[in-house]
Structure 1
Amino acid sequence: MNSIQEQLRMSELPKDQEKMPLFDALVHYANRNTIPFDVPGHKMGAQASPLKNILGEMTMKMDVNSMKELDLLSHPQSVIKEAQQLAADAFGADHAYFLVNGTTSGILAMILATCKPDDVLIVPRNCHKSVMNGLILSGAKPVFIEPEVDVHFGISHGISVKNVIKTLSAYPEAKAILVTYPTYFGSMNELRTICKLAHDRNIAVIVDSAHGAHLPFMPELIDPITAGADIVTMSMHKTGGSLTQSSILLLNEGRISAKTMQKTLNMIQTTSANYLLMSSLDVARHELALYGYERYQALKPLVEKTIYEIEEHTCFEVLKKDFVRKHNMQSYDWTKLVIRVNDSGLTGFEVYTLLKEKYKIQMELAEGYVVMAVITTADDENSLKKLVWALREIERLYNRKTPIYSTSVTPTHANILLLSPREAHYAEHELMPIDRALGKISADLLMIYPPGIPLVIPGELISEDVIQQYHYYSQTFGNVLTESALEHHITVVKE
């Protein structure tokens, strides 16, 4: 199936993409002045409340329950079915499924649909925490591939083709390989090659594209469906313009059937799907399909100008495609503005805090050496100019002149996996201070959020690197998420 990107390159208007069947049906129902004796209990905002005062009457009227004229997400027959098919057409897939619990639910579904207990799943070690939960639920055995480490920027990129070949050769029995594409920081490996390598061995390719909903509408980049992936989950709310928590799962049939995919999703998604979220997916698809390509074409020169102005007047450095291609042999999504700040003597955490508290600029995240801004077509010259001005002033006022480097930013030693995440999850546990946990098997998941990449997962050996990283992030940013209620404690497998 041709993607919207291909159709737009041929100057053809995508068929039927101007329709918004679910959104229009929901608006029509909200305007009917129905007397509700069903749930939800706010009865279309019948009572005055702070929520209604702020969100507005129409928002409350559109927050309704499943019914025949609005269709049912678990068994779509009418407007949801049509809206999902329009999304499938827009993204070049055989099928599309609306998700109301974010890409997390899609990742769980992809793993459960492809792997049974004890099946081998090949996974990048810098994957999102939801992948680890999918391993626990499915009972699949993970084989981790270490990502390409960028010591200069202090971040990780995607897994290399070389390491994929090595792993596929060592584990020919693998049922699936999961690829993060693009990574949180915007790098994109040779996914087309990885898909061919896997498919030649009858191994499914499932893709976490949480940060790649916009890729089919970018003039020069390859999206995961075009690259040949079997299942893709993308967070439309992150870069596609829908409401937070709404995502789309795309399926190309062959290795996984549409029936299996729907059945799996029905196990993990709510039966009370939120219509505001689903209708926002319908609208976001409409906007991307009709206007995305031209909007990203118009946005690119603004981003290029922003990068030039940041680097021209500060000691900061922006990650660019030439750097990623040269050092990691991967392509790059230019809508991720990764700014290296540590040559100023400031950590990314400090610059992030200054931007927020002094200039009211909310960045996506901070790391030891970098801050990152996510750019979408909702940005304009004015917002980008404010970011440039703030960065220039921070560099001028707070520059300490001495660059910062830390081995905790980019550790080079992989954790040793001694138990599967499922085995560690169901083992007998004990709680202890993390400083006393050296050499223990973790039953906990320590995670930096954002981006949601674990320092250690259930089943891995707790090393000195893990403890040092934990303290580094706790002291510099205080945003290490742990499942323990006690600060600086971790749950381990009891010996």
Structure 2
Amino acid sequence: MNSIQEQTQIREFAQAQERMPLFEALVDYAKKDVTPFDVPGHKMGAQASPLKNILGEMTMKMDVNSMKELDLLSHPESVIKEAQQLAANAFGADQAYFLVNGTTSGILAMILASCKPDDVLIVPRNCHKSVMNGLILSGAKPVFIEPEVDVHFGISHGISVKSVTKTLSAYPEAKAILVTYPTYFGSMNDLRAICSLAHDRDITVIVDSAHGAHLPFMPGQIDPIVAGADIVTMSMHKTGGSLTQSSILFLNEGRVSAKTMQKTLNMLQTTSANYLLMSSLDVARHDLALYGYDRYKDLKPLVEKAIHDIEQHTCFEVLKNDYVKKQNMQAYDWTKMVIRVNDSGLTGFEVYTLLKEKYQIQMELAEGYVVMAVVTTADDEESLKKLVYALCEIDRLYGRKIPIYSTNVTPTHPNKLLLSPRDAYYAEHELLPIDMALGKISADLLMIYPPGIPLVIPGELISEDVIQQYHYYSKTFGNVLTESALKHHITVVKPSITPPA
């Protein structure tokens, strides 16, 4: 293709992506002198209220119900359809579907559309809790792959190509494989190789890319759609700039049809889709498509300087691409600043708390050894300098200079799966103090949030490692989510199954 053709294509792409059909239609409707006798009951903010006072009149006017001129999410024919097609074109997919219940609904839909009851689904064990719920709803049988464990940083990376190859050979009957790309901590395995291995066996590749909406617009990064995935769900609200709870599911047709995908989503999504959320997806797509590449190009040197300053003036260490490539043969998303702090004698939980309480800096998460900052194009030199200054001062004022290590941060013994999550969910249950649940089969899901990765799932054996991890996170961070109303209790399958010797 010659340069003239390339320039013409770029100009045509930009001209198309300038449009925001859903957002524009919604704004036009809100500006009309409409007398609403439909829902929602606030009637476009007709009454004075604290909500209207804070959010503003225009926001209330844009919170409307489905109608002909604004289209219908479950059966899009006009402005929603056009907005979704623009998103598909921007990200390089065949189809795009707006989600108003976050990537959770997309993950459920991907599993339900690609797996029937008793089908084998290959899953990384460090997946999000929504995957476990998808297993329960679909009745698919999970085969778990353990992720690559990073003992130095106390985190997990993506599943390796070697592990995938071994698992695909052992389970040739598998219908689908789910890959987290990037992982919560930003590592990215060779997804192209995984897609090739799976597709050679006619296995569908579904991708949880909740933290990867920005990847298609970052210089030098390979996004999951380009890598060849069949279905991808991205949390546009996490890194793409849309409102919280809004995501997009992308489909490359072939192994799953557009008809099947729409039908599945219609079972999971509300019939009263929120137009503020949907229109924010339209705007976020517009901004990423037109300005994303240049903004990330400008942001990278600012992040590199921040990393340099942190490592130059503290005993902290920041996760970087060269390290991940050398240790795990994976790439790394530099917008995830994973900062290892335990050499200072502080846990990640302590640094997280100090940043919030002393410096009004809200980090994305804490783990035993690390804190993580998610950087987006909304950040600038000033916000990064503030983070660097706070970290330097914390190391100087609060660091104990005696490194901290704990076996609870990176347990090496995977849980045994004795029942499928669905069978465990529907079995007869009993509630026990967690310290009395050793050797029982969990019917509960214990989860650290963020990031939402379970310590134990329904169907897994409750081991001593699980109990110790539960107490470790309860004591250090107080943020273990359980489905039990009683503290330090867990629901187990009754009667318990004695594990084999």
Fold shared by both chains (TM-score > 0.5): yes
What are the Cα deviations for residues 127-148 of structure 1, in whole angstroms up to 9, with x where unaligned?
0000000000000000000000
Instruction: Give how far 1:11 is off.
Output: 5.6
What amino acid sits opposite 2:160 in the alignment?
A: S
Q: Check if 1:423 corresponds to 2:444.
A: no
Q: Find the counterpart in structure 1 of residue 227 from structure 2.
A: 227
Per the alignment, do residues 393 and 9 of structure 1 end up closer, same or farther by CA in structure 2, a change over 3 Å counting? farther
What are the Cα deviations for residues 266-290 of structure 1, in whole angstroms up to 9, with x where unaligned?
0000000000000000000000000
Q: Check if 1:243 corresponds to 2:233.
A: no
Instruction: Give how far 1:443 is off.
Output: 0.1
Q: Find the counterpart in structure 2 of residue 340 from structure 1.
A: 340
SS in 2 for 1:441: coil
What are the Cα deviations for residues 47-74 of structure 1, in whole angstroms up to 9, with x where unaligned?
0000000000000000000000000000
What amino acid sits opposite 2:331 in the alignment?
A: S
Instruction: Give how far 1:14 is off.
Output: 1.9
Q: Find the counterpart in structure 2 of residue 280 from structure 1.
A: 280
Alignment of 1:79-228 (within 5 A): 79-228=79-228
Question: In the aligned structure 1, how far is the partner of 2:162 from the partner of 2:413?
Answer: 19
SS in 1 for 2:371: strand
Alignment of 1:365-380 (within 5 A): 365-380=365-380
Question: In the aligned structure 2, how far is the partner of 1:342 from the partner of 1:313?
Answer: 15
Instruction: Give how far 1:336 is off.
Output: 0.1
Instruction: Give how far 1:8 is off.
Output: 9.3
Q: Find the counterpart in structure 2 of residue 434 from structure 1.
A: 434
Q: Find the counterpart in structure 2 of residue 271 from structure 1.
A: 271
Q: Find the counterpart in structure 1 of residue 327 from structure 2.
A: 327
Q: Find the counterpart in structure 2 of residue 14 from structure 1.
A: 13
Contact in 2 for aligned 1:8/1:14 (Cα 8 Å): no
What amino acid sits opposite 1:84 in the alignment?
A: Q
Q: Find the counterpart in structure 1 of residue 483 from structure 2.
A: 483
Question: In the aligned structure 2, how far is the partner of 1:366 from the partner of 1:90?
Answer: 34
Q: Find the counterpart in structure 2 of residue 314 from structure 1.
A: 314
What are the Cα deviations for residues 342-388 of structure 1, in whole angstroms up to 9, with x where unaligned?
00000000000000000000000000000000000000000000000
Contact in 2 for aligned 1:128/1:454 (Cα 8 Å): yes
SS in 1 for 2:17: coil
Instruction: Give how far 1:33 is off.
Output: 1.6
Specify every segment of 5 or more residues in structure 1 that has no aligned partner in the other structure, as ranges: none
SS in 1 for 2:164: helix
Question: In the aligned structure 1, how far is the partner of 2:207 from the partner of 2:33?
Answer: 43
What amino acid sits opposite 1:14 in the alignment?
A: F
Q: Find the counterpart in structure 1 of residue 54 from structure 2.
A: 54
Instruction: Give how far 1:10 is off.
Output: 8.4
Contact in 2 for aligned 1:14/1:290 (Cα 8 Å): no
Question: In the aligned structure 2, how far is the partner of 1:92 from the partner of 1:12?
Answer: 16
Contact in 2 for aligned 1:445/1:483 (Cα 8 Å): yes
What are the Cα deviations for residues 90-148 of structure 1, in whole angstroms up to 9, with x where unaligned?
00000000000000000000000000000000000000000000000000000000000
Q: Find the counterpart in structure 1 of residue 384 from structure 2.
A: 384
Question: In the aligned structure 1, how far is the partner of 2:147 from the partner of 2:244?
Answer: 28
Question: In the aligned structure 2, how far is the partner of 1:97 from the partner of 1:186?
Answer: 25
Question: In the aligned structure 1, how far is the partner of 2:33 from the partner of 2:350?
Answer: 52
SS in 2 for 1:298: helix
SS in 2 for 1:14: helix
Question: In the aligned structure 2, how far is the partner of 1:159 from the partner of 1:13?
Answer: 39
Question: In the aligned structure 2, how far is the partner of 1:10 from the partner of 1:78?
Answer: 25
What amino acid sits opposite 1:57 in the alignment?
A: E
Q: Find the counterpart in structure 1 of residue 404 from structure 2.
A: 404
Instruction: Give how far 1:466 is off.
Output: 0.2
Question: In the aligned structure 2, how far is the partner of 1:306 from the partner of 1:350?
Answer: 21
What are the Cα deviations for residues 163-187 of structure 1, in whole angstroms up to 9, with x where unaligned?
0000000000000000000000000
Question: In the aligned structure 2, how far is the partner of 1:240 from the partner of 1:342?
Answer: 31
Contact in 2 for aligned 1:114/1:175 (Cα 8 Å): yes
What amino acid sits opposite 2:13 in the alignment?
A: P
Contact in 2 for aligned 1:420/1:459 (Cα 8 Å): yes
Question: In the aligned structure 1, how far is the partner of 2:22 from the partner of 2:399?
Answer: 52
Question: In the aligned structure 1, how far is the partner of 2:460 from the partner of 2:288?
Answer: 41
What amino acid sits opposite 1:462 in the alignment?
A: I
What are the Cα deviations for residues 15-37 of structure 1, in whole angstroms up to 9, with x where unaligned?
50000000000000000020000
Per the alignment, do residues 222 and 404 of structure 1 end up closer, same or farther by CA in structure 2, a change over 3 Å counting? same
What are the Cα deviations for residues 189-208 of structure 1, in whole angstroms up to 9, with x where unaligned?
00000000000000000000
Q: Check if 1:469 corresponds to 2:469.
A: yes
Instruction: Give how far 1:9 is off.
Output: 13
Q: Find the counterpart in structure 2 of residue 493 from structure 1.
A: 493
SS in 2 for 1:98: strand
Contact in 2 for aligned 1:324/1:331 (Cα 8 Å): yes
Contact in 2 for aligned 1:120/1:175 (Cα 8 Å): yes
What are the Cα deviations for residues 149-168 of structure 1, in whole angstroms up to 9, with x where unaligned?
00000000000000000000
SS in 1 for 2:39: coil
Per the alignment, do residues 468 and 415 of structure 1 end up closer, same or farther by CA in structure 2, a change over 3 Å counting? same
What are the Cα deviations for residues 200-226 of structure 1, in whole angstroms up to 9, with x where unaligned?
000000000000000000101100000
Instruction: Give how far 1:449 is off.
Output: 0.1
Q: Find the counterpart in structure 2 of residue 258 from structure 1.
A: 258
Q: Find the counterpart in structure 1 of residue 498 from structure 2.
A: none
Question: In the aligned structure 1, how far is the partner of 2:10 from the partner of 2:369?
Answer: 43
What amino acid sits opposite 2:475 in the alignment?
A: Q
Instruction: Give how far 1:39 is off.
Output: 0.1
Question: In the aligned structure 2, how far is the partner of 1:219 from the partner of 1:9?
Answer: 21
Contact in 2 for aligned 1:211/1:234 (Cα 8 Å): yes
Contact in 2 for aligned 1:168/1:198 (Cα 8 Å): yes
Q: Find the counterpart in structure 1 of residue 414 from structure 2.
A: 414
What amino acid sits opposite 2:27 in the alignment?
A: V
Instruction: Give how far 1:401 is off.
Output: 1.2
What amino acid sits opposite 2:363 in the alignment?
A: M
What count of residue pairs does the alignment treat as equivalent? 491
Question: In the aligned structure 2, how far is the partner of 1:342 from the partner of 1:261?
Answer: 45
Question: In the aligned structure 2, how far is the partner of 1:460 from the partner of 1:82?
Answer: 45
% same residue: 86
Per the alignment, do residues 306 and 9 of structure 1 end up closer, same or farther by CA in structure 2, a change over 3 Å counting? farther
SS in 2 for 1:206: strand
